[in-house]
């Protein structure tokens, strides 16, 4: 007789922030931002997720800027740190590249969807 093997996983809390903007939902999870639209609403145009990744997912205050214009960064490097709802949110580089411009200042209240960093991917 075969017995099924089961793995035991310990449950842990992981913070996930959700924000609805129009028909889109922004999901902030582990330093990345995902934009989810309604099912079947794809209009044939590709969405530029780097803009979402480099923007605040909700109204937040800029507490730190860790890069400067012209700086080369690696995927996952923390570019800007935000504070919202008593939580710190890291805006990270979606891939290797160079910071073109910083569009925020420490202490500034930023709005969702507005890019905080202009970023250009490194040449492949």
> DSSP of 34-97, one letter per residue?
EEE--TT---SPPP-HHHHHTBBSSSEEEEEE---TT-EE-TT-EEEEEEETTEEEEEE-SSSE
- Domain with residue 84: its CATH number is 2.40.50.100
DSSP 8-state secondary structure symbol assigned to residue 116? S
Name the residue range of residue 77's domain: 16-39+46-121
Tell me, yes or no, whether 6 lies in a domain. Answer: no
Q: What is the number of structural domains in the chain?
A: 1
User: Going residue by residue through the chain (124 aa), what tens digit of pLDDT does each one get?
Assistant: 566 666 666 667 777 777 776 777 777 777 667 777 776 555 544 444 566 568 887 889 999 999 999 999 998 899 999 998 888 888 888 889 999 999 999 999 998 888 899 988 877 5
Structure tokens at 117: 């960093």
Tell me, yes or no, whether 3 lies in a domain. Answer: no
């Amino acid at each position: 007789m075969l017995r099924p093997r089961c793995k035991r996983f310990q449950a842990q809390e992981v913070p996930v922030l959700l924000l609805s903007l129009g028909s889109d939902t922004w999901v902030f999870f582990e330093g990345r931002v995902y934009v989810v639209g309604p099912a079947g609403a794809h209009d044939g145009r590709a969405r530029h997720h780097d803009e979402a990744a480099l923007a605040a997912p909700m109204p937040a205050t800029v507490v730190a800027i860790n890069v400067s214009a012209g700086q080369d960064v690696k995927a996952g490097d923390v570019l800007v740190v935000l504070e919202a709802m008593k939580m710190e949110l890291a805006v990270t580089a979606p891939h290797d590249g160079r910071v073109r411009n910083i569009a925020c200042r420490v202490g500034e209240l930023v709005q969702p969807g507005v890019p905080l960093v202009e970023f250009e991917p490194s040449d492949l």
